[in-house]
């Protein structure tokens, strides 16, 4: 049986929400627009988690639901007009054991405002806020070939000096960049790829 949402928790998230909508399909929105829509929720959750010293718990919960709502079957269910709001809440709550009242309140508010599909952005923004508060930053490093531990360590030291904070590197491989690396850390983007250089050269020659 679902537990009744505490009024205080619901009010907390509702005060940071955007205008309500009946639509759950937001994937057509631009990345910047999705981030803008998600930010108030991420900030509200971060403040609540900070006050309760439960950043890890909230981070894990958001990460779980960020993956869950990306599932096509679940997305289809969320958009089923025959399902009531209470049924959608119950479905989502049933996916995660030990979900507390405040976490349930967030799910309900997101559902009421048609923002459930923004959970990946909310999770990412929450992690950025947490990393900033803890003096760290996540950096994605894309290379044409897999980097070894020594190369990752060297990049980490370079970025720490450049950004003045500890850096958590998440490395991935994309052969299409041909060579070099592309680094994204917060608002900082360093395109040191061969493909990027060729694109710049092509743009220069054609303008």
Q: Looking at residue 63, which CATH number applies to its domain?
A: 1.10.520.20
> Would you state the pLDDT for residue 59?
94
What confidence category does residue 64 fall into, taking pLDDT thresholds of 50, 70 and 90?
very high
Last residue of a domain, one of 84, 116, 131: 131
In a domain, 172, yes or no: yes
Number of structural domains in the chain: 2
- Dihedral (Cα; 23, 28, 33, 36), 10-degree rounding: 50
- Provide the sign of the torsion angle of the four alpha carbons 84, 107, 39, 138, taken in this order: negative
Last residue of a domain, one of 131, 157, 187: 131
> Would you state the pLDDT for residue 95?
92
Looking at the structure, do residues 196 and 123 belong to the same domain, yes or no? no
Looking at the structure, do residues 55 and 154 belong to the same domain, yes or no? no
Looking at the structure, do residues 193 and 114 belong to the same domain, yes or no? no
Looking at the structure, do residues 143 and 101 belong to the same domain, yes or no? no
Looking at the structure, do residues 98 and 15 belong to the same domain, yes or no? yes
Last residue of a domain, one of 98, 131, 164: 131
In a domain, 2, yes or no: no
What confidence category does residue 40 fall into, taking pLDDT thresholds of 50, 70 and 90?
very high
- Dihedral (Cα; 6, 101, 19, 95), 10-degree rounding: -150
Q: Are the CB atoms for 181 and 158 separated by under 8 Å?
A: no
Mean pLDDT to the nearest integer, 33-50 = 93
> Would you state the pLDDT for residue 206?
59
Predicted TM-score (pTM) above 0.75:
no
Looking at the structure, do residues 109 and 26 belong to the same domain, yes or no? yes
Looking at the structure, do residues 109 and 162 belong to the same domain, yes or no? no
Q: Is the pLDDT of residue 10 over 80?
A: no
In a domain, 23, yes or no: yes
> Would you state the pLDDT for residue 25?
46
Looking at the structure, do residues 96 and 167 belong to the same domain, yes or no? no
Looking at the structure, do residues 196 and 168 belong to the same domain, yes or no? yes
Q: Are the CB atoms for 145 and 173 separated by under 8 Å?
A: yes
Q: Are the CB atoms for 16 and 118 separated by under 8 Å?
A: no
Structural domain containing residue 176: 135-205
Looking at the structure, do residues 15 and 93 belong to the same domain, yes or no? yes
Looking at the structure, do residues 57 and 146 belong to the same domain, yes or no? no
Q: Residues 153-176: pLDDT tens digits?
A: 888 888 888 877 788 888 899 988
Average per-residue pLDDT in the chain?
81
Q: Looking at residue 184, which CATH number applies to its domain?
A: 3.40.30
What confidence category does residue 144 fall into, taking pLDDT thresholds of 50, 70 and 90?
confident
Q: Residues 68-112: pLDDT tens digits?
A: 999 988 888 888 889 999 999 999 999 988 899 999 999 999 999
């Amino acid at each position: 049986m679902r537990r009744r949402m505490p009024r205080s928790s619901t009010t907390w998230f509702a005060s940071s929400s955007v205008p309500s909508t009946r639509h759950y399909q937001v994937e057509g929105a631009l990345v910047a627009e999705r981030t803008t829509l998600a930010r108030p929720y991420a900030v509200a959750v971060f403040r609540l988690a900070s006050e309760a010293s439960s950043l890890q718990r909230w981070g894990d919960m958001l990460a779980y639901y960020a993956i869950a709502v990306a599932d096509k079957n679940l997305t289809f269910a969320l958009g089923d007009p025959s399902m009531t709001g209470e049924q959608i809440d119950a479905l989502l709550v049933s996916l995660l054991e030990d979900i507390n009242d405040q976490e349930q309140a967030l799910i309900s508010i997101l559902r009421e405002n048609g923002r459930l599909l923004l959970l990946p952005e909310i999770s990412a923004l929450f992690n950025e806020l947490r990393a900033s508060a803890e003096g760290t930053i996540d950096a994605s490093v894309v290379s044409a070939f897999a980097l070894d531990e020594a190369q990752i360590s060297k990049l980490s030291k370079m970025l720490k000096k450049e950004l003045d904070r500890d850096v958590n590197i998440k490395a991935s491989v994309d052969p299409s960049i041909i060579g070099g690396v592309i680094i994204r850390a917060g608002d900082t983007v360093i395109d040191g790829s061969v493909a990027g250089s060729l694109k710049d050269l092509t743009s220069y020659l054609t303008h």
